[in-house]
């Protein structure tokens, strides 16, 4: 029996004057963000845009002939995992064993750990999850003989341990993890195939860090990376290194140039190939970094109804201490800032439930822990007043989600119709 989810005043953004509330009863309250029913700041997800994005990305993957394993680290929300699985996702990707455990507890049964696993605590945790759930399939990344040695040493001390399914990761010079050269990759593949500890299920890469928003540059970069992936995969297949009896996984995962890798995820390898795309940020998209990249992607693909910005953080203007400056009651504890500062998108004057587009001249120029600095030229434009509300767009949804334990889902008039919880 599933324990009902209960919201309470212990959660940031939940009214302190209200008693604990079962999530199932939230919509009946008819709370509205712009009616002052909840304290600000508050991160919200727009329902229509959310549902559009989930459906759009699944349809895109299907149209490319590949499967989707969305990166769950973006939201760490079981309710959102379920929406993605219900839409047709093959499984969910995670970055850590702890994240995987959250997914497994919520019903995920096929998962990619898009990261190297090598610590004894993580190996023991993964082994325990696999032992408890006979229907659970997990693959993780391997990129070095040193990592293999750590795993093999751990397994030698166990009375009973699983054979781990792994993907060989191809990396880039100066980038993140992954093998750098073809000879290194092939030597590692041979070791994985020969070792009784591993089952080499396929090959993987991550292209996201190289995205620039320049189609010519990005196309050349992605083509070169995927050519390396395919070349290593073909040689591995020819040498019999893949241990998959049914299909070989070829996977890539990023949210900025997924169109440039999706078409290369089904090389001919003599066995069926499961192309697996792992984009994650698409589920809410954003108003900054990914919006810029995906606008260019839409031009390449001639999309007319692409991803929509679904995540906003609403904040109160608490002070206007000098001309051209307003201080908002929102800061680094509430909103992402790792790629770009927030962008003013909406302005709702005091007592208004009808937000207006924020003037283009308004800019967030800095954040403290609990404060944001909104600036404009007072000679050229009017500013907000104390008590006004601003809806801020974000850049990179991952680092906004992790600042909230719950996020209301709102209709386009900002009436709350549902909510999701996160487990970071």
Angle, in degrees to the nearest 10, between helices 145-156 and 182-194: 20
Over the stretch 129-179, which tens digit does the pLDDT of each residue have? 999 999 999 999 999 999 999 999 999 999 989 999 999 999 998 889 999
CB 260 within 8 A of CB 219: yes
Q: How far apart are CA 185 and CA 249, in angstroms?
A: 16
Confidence of residue 4 (pLDDT cuts 50, 70, 90): confident
pLDDT at residue 3 in the model: 75
Give pLDDT tens digits for 69-116.
999 999 999 999 999 999 999 999 999 999 999 999 999 999 999 999
pTM of the model: 0.96
Q: How many CB atoms lie within 10 A of CB 19?
A: 7
Consecutive H or E run containing 279: none
**Can you tell me whether residue 419 is helix, strand or coil?**
strand
State yes or no: cis peptide before 41, omega within 30 of 0: yes
Nearest to 249 by CA among 258, 236, 260: 236
Q: Which two tokens stand for residue 130?
A: 């696999």
Model pLDDT, residue 208: 86
The whole-number pLDDT of residue 254 equals 83
């Amino acid at each position: 029996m599933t324990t009902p989810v209960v919201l309470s005043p212990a959660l940031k953004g939940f009214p302190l004057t209200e008693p604990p509330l079962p999530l199932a009863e939230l919509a009946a309250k008819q709370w509205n963000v712009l009616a002052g029913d909840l304290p600000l700041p508050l991160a919200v997800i727009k329902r229509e845009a959310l549902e559009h994005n989930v459906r759009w990305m699944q349809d895109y993957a299907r149209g490319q002939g590949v499967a989707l394993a969305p990166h769950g680290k973006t939201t760490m929300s079981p309710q959102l995992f379920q929406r993605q699985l219900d839409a047709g996702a093959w499984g969910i990707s995670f970055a850590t064993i702890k994240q995987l455990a959250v997914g497994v507890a919520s019903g995920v049964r096929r998962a990619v750990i898009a990261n190297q696993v090598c610590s004894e605590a993580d190996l023991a945790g993964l082994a325990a999850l696999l032992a408890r759930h006979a229907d659970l399939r997990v693959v993780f990344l391997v990129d070095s003989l040193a990592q293999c040695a750590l795993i093999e040493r751990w397994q030698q001390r166990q009375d009973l341990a699983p054979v781990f399914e792994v993907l060989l990761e191809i990396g880039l010079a100066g980038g993140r993890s992954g093998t750098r050269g073809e000879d290194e990759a092939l030597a590692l593949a041979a070791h994985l195939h020969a070792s009784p500890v591993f089952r080499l299920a396929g090959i993987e890469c991550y292209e996201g860090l190289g995205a620039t928003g320049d189609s010519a540059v990005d196309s050349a970069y992605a083509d070169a990376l995927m050519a390396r992936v395919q070349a290593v995969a073909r040689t591995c297949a020819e040498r019999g290194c893949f241990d998959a009896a049914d299909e070989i996984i070829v996977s890539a995962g990023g949210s900025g140039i997924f169109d440039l890798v999706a078409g290369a995820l089904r090389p001919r390898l003599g066995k069926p190939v499961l192309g697996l795309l792992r984009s994650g940020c698409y589920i809410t998209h954003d108003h900054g970094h990914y919006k810029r990249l995906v606008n260019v992607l839409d031009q390449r693909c001639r999309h007319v109804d692409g991803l929509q910005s679904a995540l906003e953080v609403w904040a109160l203007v608490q002070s206007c201490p000098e001309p051209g400056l307003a201080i908002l009651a929102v800061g680094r504890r509430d909103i992402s800032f790792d790629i770009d500062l927030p962008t003013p998108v909406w302005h709702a004057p005091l007592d208004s439930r009808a937000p207006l587009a924020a003037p283009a001249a308004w800019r967030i120029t800095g954040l403290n822990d609990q404060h944001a600095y909104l600036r404009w030229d007072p000679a050229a434009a009017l500013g907000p007043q104390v008590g006004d509300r601003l809806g801020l767009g974000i850049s990179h949804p991952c680092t906004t989600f992790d600042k909230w334990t719950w996020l209301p889902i709102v209709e386009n008039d900002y009436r709350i119709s549902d909510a999701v919880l996160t487990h970071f």
